[in-house]
Amino acid sequence: MNRATSLKISVSGVRGVVGESLTPQLVAKFAQAFGTYLGRGEVIVGQDSRQSGIMVKKAVLSGLLSLGCKPVDVGICPIPSIQVFTKQAKAMGAIVVTASHNPKEWNGLKFLNKDGLFLNYHQVEEFLDIYHQGEFSLADVDKYRIPENEENPTEPHTKKLLSYLNVDSIAKGKFKVAIDCCNGAGAVLAPWLLERLGCRPVLLNCVPDGRFAHHPEPLPENIAELCRAVVENKADVGFVQDADADRLAVVNEKGEPLGEEMTLVLAAKHVLSQEPGPVVINLSTSQAIDDIAADYGVPVIRTKIGEINVVETLLSLEEKPAIGGEGNGGVILPAIHPCRDSFTAMGLILEYMASSGKAVSELQNEVPRYFMIKDRIDKTREESYRLIKELRKKFTDKGESSLVDGMKIIFSDYWVHIRPSNTEPIVRLIVEAPSKTKAEEMVKLWRREIEGISKWK
């Protein structure tokens, strides 16, 4: 894999293969650019548990120190906790060393502003201009500052969670919960939080050493161990996080994975039943959210893919939004913090189980049922945009279409969304239909269409 194909720079941050496209020199340069963009001050630095994390973080620290910034190292920490901590600490911003759901050979950087939010497109553009120009605000040696270590960076986050959730109700359920942290950053908080909620945790891969026991993306095909553990331990529910703990997938009491789309569906139904309000989701999120929102008479606003796009829309609404998120298992509850948060998602689903007195399988049967297939096709960034351009020419008059992010077309009996990935050198192909057979047929049809265009372009 060469540098051009493996380095991804987008609104989601920077990701690359360690030692190939992502080097210490490159990381230090990004840190210098970000520190210059922020101005000298306190910058939070955290990481997920990847084995390359220490090396990458040292390069980040070096870059920040060269500017006279004061790094505050929070160590291995879930990214939603870092986001809450950054705002509470009144820092200038934060750099998080993580590649989220990417495989172990990848690592990257996510950049947060003073509010603990990802940079928007305008802010990314300004920051990258500084990076490409290479003109950094380097400090004199006598202006170098000593980094600090923060011993309890998750505390502000957990306080918010425990004050929002109905802890007593959850505790009365005495739920046995199988939790798979993938040996990622979630392992520093998830077991403690479950015990604090009165649950009986069954721990799988809860050592934050970065030795991923399976692919860190919480898809059904990656969590067979958790499914078995739920059955063997007679657990009430199973939860699995990705490496930096912003995404959550659920397994019901029968050991059946619900699929990551269902995380937000269940959380949204519970929240809307308590306090109805607008829902903000991205273009690829399940139609089930629209159906549930219609039951409560609230609007659904859809955005481009990317957490910051959902968050900025949430924050811009005049009417108080109830919930937002992305169908990749990312639940965003503004009452806690406007960020994807697997711990909030866990709490909401446990609270839903407690208040309803129903098993997870019963709750999933009460929401609209759709079948979504997420496929991927290897393409460089240039190839991806050429492909989307040709697809738009050919198909945007065939159904209700959106060109906000790639191409989404809603037909009478299914929808399709094709877009370049923000984080990997691929094109994402997503289809959702009322039946599995229909979804499978449409994925095959659109793959053939894509392959046909790729051959002659």
Q: What is the DSSP string of 210-267?
A: S--SS-SS--GGG-HHHHHHHHHTT-SEEEEE-TTSS-EEEE-TTS-B--THHHHHHH
End-to-end Cα distance, the chain:
23
List Cβ neighbours of 390 (8 Å cut-off, separation of 6 or more): 453, 457
Exposure of 396 by Cβ count < 10 A (0-12 exposed, 13-18 middle, 19+ buried)? middle
CB atoms within 10 A of CB 357: 8
Lowest mean pLDDT among 1-5, 41-45, 119-123: 1-5
**Radius of gyration of the chain from Cα atoms?**
22
Beta pairing, strands 42-47 & 93-97 = parallel
Phi, psi of 323 (to 5 degrees): -165, 160
Write the DSSP symbol of residue 422.
Answer: S
Beta pairing, strands 148-149 & 70-76 = parallel
**Per-residue confidence band for 235, with pLDDT thresholds at 50, 70 and 90:** very high
Phi, psi of 5 (to 5 degrees): -90, -20
Give me the mean pLDDT over the 192-203 stretch: 98
Q: pTM value?
A: 0.93
For residue 367, the cross-strand partners are none
Chain segment 243-282, per-residue pLDDT in tens: 999 999 999 999 999 999 999 999 999 999 999 999 999 9
- Total number of residues shown for the chain: 457
Mind spelling out the 3-state secondary structure of 362-399? HHHHCCCCCEEEEEEEECCHHHHHHHHHHHHHHHCCCC
Chain segment 407-418, per-residue pLDDT in tens: 999 999 999 999
* pLDDT for the residue numbered 457: 47
Residue with the two structure tokens 């900025």: 312
Paired tokens of 261: 């789309």
Domains of the chain are 3-155 (3.40.120.10), 166-365 (3.40.120.10), 371-456 (3.30.310.50)
CB atoms within 10 A of CB 134: 9
3-state secondary structure of 97: strand
- The separation between CA 192 and the C-alpha centre of its own chain, rounded to angstroms, equals 22
Chain segment 338-383, per-residue pLDDT in tens: 999 999 999 999 999 999 999 999 999 999 999 999 999 988 878 8
* pLDDT for the residue numbered 385: 86
Exposure of 333 by Cβ count < 10 A (0-12 exposed, 13-18 middle, 19+ buried)? buried
C-alpha to C-alpha distance for 112 and 96, rounded to whole angstroms: 8
Torsion sign, CA atoms 169, 175, 83, 430: negative
Percent of the chain with pLDDT over 90: 86
3-state secondary structure of 44: strand
CA atoms within 13 A on the CB side of 20: 14
Exposure of 83 by Cβ count < 10 A (0-12 exposed, 13-18 middle, 19+ buried)? buried
**Residue with more model confidence, 407 or 421:** 407
**Residue with more model confidence, 399 or 436:** 436
Nearest to 150 by CA among 260, 281, 45: 45
Crossing angle for the helix pair 261-274 and 342-356, nearest 10 degrees? 60
Chain segment 388-401, per-residue pLDDT in tens: 999 998 887 777 88
Side by side, the strands of the sheet bearing 70-76 are 8-10, 13-17, 106-112, 93-97, 42-47, 70-76, 148-149
Active site positions, annotated:
100
Phi, psi of 28 (to 5 degrees): -60, -40
Q: Taking a C-beta distance cutoff of 8 angstroms, is the pair 138, 65 a contact? A: no
Given a cut of 90, whether residue 292 has pLDDT beyond it is yes
**Per-residue confidence band for 455, with pLDDT thresholds at 50, 70 and 90:** low
Given a cut of 60, whether residue 403 has pLDDT beyond it is yes
C-alpha to C-alpha distance for 269 and 278, rounded to whole angstroms: 12
* pLDDT for the residue numbered 2: 42
Write the DSSP symbol of residue 93.
Answer: E
Given a cut of 80, whether residue 5 has pLDDT beyond it is no
CB atoms within 10 A of CB 312: 18
Alpha helices in 174-211, H assignment, sequence order: 190-196
Given a cut of 70, whether residue 74 has pLDDT beyond it is yes
Question: In whole angstroms, how far apart are CA 122 and each of 281, 299, 449?
Answer: 21, 27, 34
Q: Taking a C-beta distance cutoff of 8 angstroms, is the pair 284, 430 a contact? A: yes
